[in-house]
Amino acid sequence: MRQLFDRDTWIEIFQSINKNKLRTFLTMVGVFIGIYIYIGLSGASKGLDNGFEKEFETVARNSMFIWAQSTSKPYAGFKTGRQIQLKLQDAEVLRRQVPEIVALAPRNVRGVFGSSPGVITRGLKSGNYSVFGDFPEFTKIATKRIYDGGRFINDDDIAQERKVAVIGERTQDELFDEDEDPIGGYIEIDNVNFQVVGVHKFAGGGPFDNDSDIFIPFTTYRKIYNTGDNVAWFTVAAADDADVVAVEQAIKANLRRIHKADPTDEKAIGSFNLGEVFKKIFGFANGLTFLSLIVGIATILAGVIGIGNILLISVKERTKELGVRRALGATPSEVRNQILIESLFLTMLAGVIGIIAGALTLKGIDVMTQNVEIPYSNPTVPVAYVIGSLLLMVMLGVLIGLIPAQRAVSIKPIDALREE
């Protein structure tokens, strides 16, 4: 340990490196590239994880959207092309038949799927916006961030068919004055007065929502638009440990049975399984991390072996010098430690430079993607991964250094002094 802090040790190391600058540099490049690839790919996979978590941070991971379509096969006396209509009572059947469902919200809308948007007016201001008929349970699947002082639709709104509305940020900007509090104010939705009870911060709540959406109670919606028990689609969240694909198939199978569609008619019921998408994305990210680990270790190992070869050559070239040291009283352990410290120094130097370069690259990628609308954010590598890579380099540097170190120790002083 004392030899590590000895000035003469480091003078000798730098003299050795200085004699073989190009060869040493090219050998260190292998370790540098290995750790650089590892940091880069690991950070890239983490950025992908972070991006999708941020993009869908308000939506349940195991969520899906189910809607009805036209049949593509004749069944039970019905012809091909029959349009299926989901009903409110379907929700109760699904809750009973598919126990993995933890939340299910029937939804209706104007302004999506080609339907006419709701005409919203307030005084002399007006606009066309999507109007959703929702249940409070929807927030268990897609959380709505409500500004202070407001709220989302509650059970009393549903039971009493209240004319209350939750508006979006853009709706507030376009219908209310800048210094005006919209909470408690009134807007007209298709000539019906509604009191504003909340303003939601848009953060993504599914593939159909945006920052101008207006939410009203489902029961009020069906009364105003005369939709009865019709439902446009179901938003569903499955249990965390559930197989989201199996849950999706079970829901669709039950809906085909309820609405008398052929059990094999995959086109009768449409769906978008966000849980499956999440699973694939995070599986890809984990695979990328694993790939970075394999490629990084292989490249680092190749680089470290190269450093070992350089040290073997160095030992051969320094045979006479080592013999003189042994003749002057240097112990075998001192000679061995000299070579091991040199091996460890070259390995760690290349590794640290690779880590710094990788971190700077990830920072540059983060800056470039901040204003780009892609699900990518804050590509970083966990500290544990960096520490683990450093420990790996220490271990490899010591192990590979043992070979030239043992070669140096095996040199007999009398033979070394004869070396020309």
Average pLDDT over residues 310-331: 65
Instruction: Give the whole-angstrom CA distance, residue 248 versus residue 243.
Output: 9
- Kind and range of the H or E run holding 317: helix 274-317
**pLDDT: is 34 or 361 the higher one?**
361
Structural Rg of the chain based on CA atoms: 34
pLDDT at 148: 85
- The Cα-based distances of 36 to 48, 220, 350, 352 in angstroms read 18, 59, 10, 9
Average pLDDT over residues 32-49: 80
Asked whether 207 and 107 are in contact (CB, 8 A), the reply is no
pLDDT at 321: 65
Please state, for a pLDDT cut of 70, what percent of the chain lies above it.
80
pLDDT of 376 > 90? The answer is no
pLDDT at 386: 80
**pLDDT: is 283 or 98 the higher one?**
98
Grade residue 195 by pLDDT with cuts at 50, 70 and 90: very high
pLDDT of 21 > 90? The answer is no
pLDDT tens string 76-123: 889 999 999 999 999 999 999 999 999 999 999 998 766 778 889 998
Region of poorest pLDDT, from 47-56, 72-81, 127-136, 326-335:
326-335
Instruction: Give the whole-angstrom CA distance, residue 135 versus residue 66.
Output: 16
First to last CA, the chain: 33
Facing residues of 201 across strands? Answer: 145
Q: Give the torsion sign (CA, 46, 145, 224, 116).
A: negative
Instruction: Give the whole-angstrom CA distance, residue 224 versus residue 251.
Output: 29
Average pLDDT over residues 128-146: 90
125-129 and 145-146 strand pairing:
unpaired
pLDDT at 315: 64
Q: For residue 130, give every residue at least 6 positions away whose Cβ sits within 8 Å of its Cβ, in sequence order, or none.
A: 109, 110, 111, 112, 117, 118, 208, 209, 210, 212, 213, 214
Average pLDDT over residues 288-304: 73
Task: Return the DSSP state at 117.
Answer: P
Which range of 41-45, 143-147, 162-166, 355-359 scores highest in mean pLDDT? It is: 162-166
Grade residue 209 by pLDDT with cuts at 50, 70 and 90: low
pLDDT at 258: 96
Closest by CA position to 138, among listed 221, 224, 236, 44: 236
**pLDDT: is 280 or 27 the higher one?**
280
Instruction: Give the whole-angstrom CA distance, residue 196 versus residue 184.
Output: 5
Amino acid letter, residue 152 = F
pLDDT of 27 > 80? The answer is no
| Angle at the Cα of 355 from the Cα atoms of 350 and 356, rounded to 5 degrees | 100
- In the chain, % helix, strand, coil (3-state, to 5) comes to 55, 20, 30
Where do we find the tokens 């593939």? 207
Closest by CA position to 101, among listed 279, 254, 204, 228: 254
Grade residue 414 by pLDDT with cuts at 50, 70 and 90: low
pLDDT at 13: 67
Region of poorest pLDDT, from 70-74, 112-116, 222-226:
112-116
Grade residue 205 by pLDDT with cuts at 50, 70 and 90: very low
pLDDT at 409: 66
**Ramachandran quadrant class, 228 (left: phi over 0; alpha: psi -120 to 50; beta: rest):** left
Average per-residue pLDDT for the chain: 82
Average pLDDT over residues 33-46: 80
- The Cα-based distances of 305 to 102, 126, 144, 191, 396 in angstroms read 55, 72, 56, 79, 9
pLDDT at 99: 95
Asked whether 119 and 128 are in contact (CB, 8 A), the reply is yes
Which range of 192-196, 337-341, 410-414 scores highest in mean pLDDT? It is: 192-196
pLDDT at 182: 93
Q: What is the DSSP string of 381-392?
A: --HHHHHHHHHH
Closest by CA position to 409, among listed 304, 314, 309, 319: 319
The residue count for the chain? 420
